[in-house]
Chain A
């Protein structure tokens, strides 16, 4: 089983749509949780951290369910510029792994006119 699992997509949605991405992680000792965005052939960039209480940043809402080991990202009112790959990431809880980030394979989003 992969440490972090995501649906690879692609998700093709019209501009203005609401889209949700889900992710599960296997290590219950994981300590921190994030969503990263990666544009084609570029480096990953932190989109937002994820907390159990849920957090929102503009059109983006992230949620963590520690009991189910499940992380979600909701994007409202999608823009063309949201087209990218969204990476679910967890940190910590691994022996000998320092404070490594463990990435899912990413979910590709394409927002269309």
Chain B
């Protein structure tokens, strides 16, 4: 196992609700990246956090936001959920921004 954990493992929400997903990075890793993987697609980059600051963002609307804490764990928040937000959300931690990314098991979000 990678040592990266995510919670919850599964989640069901309804349209318009808000959700918070959590990620604990591997010990010693200061960088966390978040990805969205829709069914049948590859993961899509949402954003990356390095030492508590956002360090790059993909093509996602502002209702996708994040945080990184002093212990380098991270949260992904999604407001005003839409049906198309249904996906597997993956976080990946790395020693620093240019190092290998180790993925957690993901949170499967279903929006009804």
Interface size on A, residues (CB 8 A): 20
In the complex, the answer to whether B42 meets A105 with C-beta atoms within 8 Å is yes
Chain B interface size, as a band, is: 20 to 34
**Which stretch of A11-19, A76-84, A96-104 is in the interface?**
A96-104
B44 CB to closest chain A CB (Å) equals 7
Asked if B40 lies at the interface with its beta carbon under 8 angstroms from chain A, I say: yes
Asked if A1 lies at the interface with its beta carbon under 8 angstroms from chain B, I say: no
**Number of A-B residue pairs with CB-CB distance less than 8 Å in the complex they form:** 58
Asked if B66 lies at the interface with its beta carbon under 8 angstroms from chain A, I say: no
In the complex, the answer to whether A44 meets B43 with C-beta atoms within 8 Å is yes
With contact pairs A43-B106, A44-B103 given, residues A97 and B40 touching in the complex (Cβ less than 8 Å):
no
For A98, give its contact among B42, B56, B104, B105 (CB under 8 Å): B56
**Which stretch of B11-19, B72-80, B94-102 is in the interface?**
B94-102
In the complex, the answer to whether B42 meets A99 with C-beta atoms within 8 Å is no
For B41, give its contact among A43, A97, A99, A105 (CB under 8 Å): A105
- Please report A residues at the B interface, Cβ cutoff 8 Å: 4, 8, 42-46, 87, 94, 96-106
- Please report B residues at the A interface, Cβ cutoff 8 Å: 2, 33, 35, 40-45, 47-48, 50, 55-58, 90, 92, 97-98, 100-101, 103-106
